[in-house]
A and B are shown apart, each in its own frame.
Chain A
Amino acid sequence: MTLAIDRNAPAIAAHADRYRRQMAARRLRTLLGALVFLACVVLAAFGAEVDPAKFAQNLWRFPKYIYETLPTLRLSSLGADLAEWYWGLKGWLKLLWQTVLIAYVGTVLGAAGGFLLCFTAAANLGRSAWARWATRRFLEFCRTVPEIVFALIFVIAFGLGPLPGVLAIAIHTMGAMGKLFSEVVENIDMKPVDGLTATGAGWWQTIRFAVVPQVLSNFASYALLRFEINVRGASIMGFVGAGGIGQDLIEAIRKFYFTDVSAILLLIIVTVMLIDFATERLRHALLSLEHGK
């Protein structure tokens, strides 16, 4: 069977014409969007002082740099070569442990702060619109200012060392977690809240017995996720003198101790991957705990 369509039939021609016009309009819109986008790219290229000639001329330095950071490992003397590559392992492990501790203490403090503030910031529980607005703006401020900026200021206020790093991470974590937590709280089932209000419970009692049991596993899951992010953040805190492995890393980069750079970076990447893996397992366990009930 063949399907015969007469293109010149008036009904079909009108439809075809309309289709063509609509497609043309759509193409014009896409083209306009692409032009605006291109203009933005060109403007940004000027702003970022992009220089393709310099890039092409110096690009060889990038693989060279990577190559230079690679240690010389010979099969015949692998043990000695590895020992030479990781000559500072003891000190680095100590700093790495400090980095993880900075992230951990910062996460706990920040999560506690976010926990206290999220109920005021949540639209369904907040007692006064004014307090809700103020809490939300405060959390926004805490998470918009980058943690390393807080660290720079805290290093001057508290002196060099891990303390400013912990505080910087705690403040940033509080801002990020306060928002996530309040979103979780806004999605709870309100029936237990109504039930407790009906028995005459106060605000804190309502939260303790009606809200917290519903949100706790979600909160723990977010805190674990944040811990992993904070380990990454803590690894660069040392760049501004706020403790952790970052101080050795920036020294190695600045002074061109090439193999040290790769040794320390590898340590950080492996640590972050391990923590990533462990927290993901824990989060899945937590979520299945919640859904499996």
Chain B
Amino acid sequence: MTLALSAADRAALIARHRAAIDGSLRTRLVTIAVIAGLAGLFLYGVASLEASLWKILAGFANLGSFVALMLPPDPGSLARAVIFVKALFETIAIAFLGTVLAAALAFPLGFLAARNVVANRVVHFFARRSLDTVRGVDALIWALIWINVVGLGPFAGMLAIMTSDLGAFGKLFSEAIEAADRKPVEGVASVGGGRAHEIRFGLIPQVLPVIASQVLYYIESNTRSSTIIGIVGAGGIGLHLAETIRTLEWQQVSFLILLILAAVTAIDFLSNRLRFAIIGKRAN
């Protein structure tokens, strides 16, 4: 059997089921309006970049020559390579310690901001909003502020990572605590446990694996943020990266970028393995 459909049949079919094919006029108009609005804003944004086609082309030509100059990656000398690797270690140390300290400080804060632990609405509201405010300030800005306190160097960077993560952890932890099962808590209460016992034996065993996996994830993501914290002078490999880019040492730039890529990949791998061991399943 063949399926024969003449052009006339097809036109008749389309005419009969116009509504099903086109959808409602209102949906179409809304879709068109939204797309036009988004595209209009995009065009306006591009126009306000003050970028002529000539400037863009020249920029890409520059970029091409930079990439050509980057090959092959080369630290310059062995002494430079040692300095870079040391800075990389500093970067990882900043990320690790900053995250761990933030988690330790955010742990009690998380309970304070959790609705099922502290029922007081005022405390809850202020705990949440202040965490939001801390979270709203970028780590790079915190680094600039901490430099005023402890001076230039990785210590300021570590404190910056710690501060900006405090807000994020407080929020995540309190959400984990709010999502915890009530039953173990009630069980502890029913055998005569006090409020502290309820938290220690009813809540903490439930939330600890979730928190551990989030901390690991943040160590990963902070390794990325702490690579740039040196741009403002707060320690780590970012200082060398910014310096070599500004002095146009392109081979060293590509060496540094490769070093960062390798470190981030290694830490991703490690933390994935650890997370797998902690929560028993691959969480990505």
Contacts and interface: CB of A to CB of B under 8 A. Distances in A.
Given A157-B62, A158-B55, A161-B49, A44 B145 contact: no
A196 interface: no
Contact of A159 (B59, B144, B265): B59
A134 to B, nearest CB: 16
A41 B100 contact: yes
Interface residues of A, number: 56
B130 to A, nearest CB: 12
A48 B56 contact: no
A44 B56 CA distance: 43
Contact of B46 (A43, A48, A50, A105): A105
Interface stretch (A3-11, A17-25, A148-156, A204-212): A148-156
B228 A146 contact: yes
B158 interface: yes
Interface of B: 38, 41-42, 44-46, 48-51, 55-56, 58-60, 62-63, 66, 89-90, 92-94, 96-98, 100, 132-133, 136-138, 140-141, 144-146, 148-151, 153-155, 157-158, 224-225, 227-228, 231-232, 235, 241-242, 245-246, 248, 253, 257, 260-261, 264-265
4 closest cross-chain pairs (CB), A and B: A47-B93, A158-B59, A44-B93, A157-B62
30 contacts: A41-B100, A43-B93, A44-B97, A48-B157, A49-B155, A50-B97, A51-B155, A55-B155, A58-B149, A58-B150, A58-B151, A105-B49, A141-B261, A148-B140, A148-B228, A153-B245, A156-B66, A156-B248, A158-B58, A158-B62, A159-B55, A161-B51, A163-B51, A163-B55, A232-B136, A236-B141, A239-B231, A253-B144, A265-B137, A273-B136
Interface of A: 40-41, 43-51, 54-55, 58-59, 61-62, 65, 98, 101-102, 104-105, 108, 141, 144-146, 148-149, 152-154, 156-159, 161-164, 166, 232, 235-236, 239-240, 249-250, 253-254, 265, 268-269, 272-273
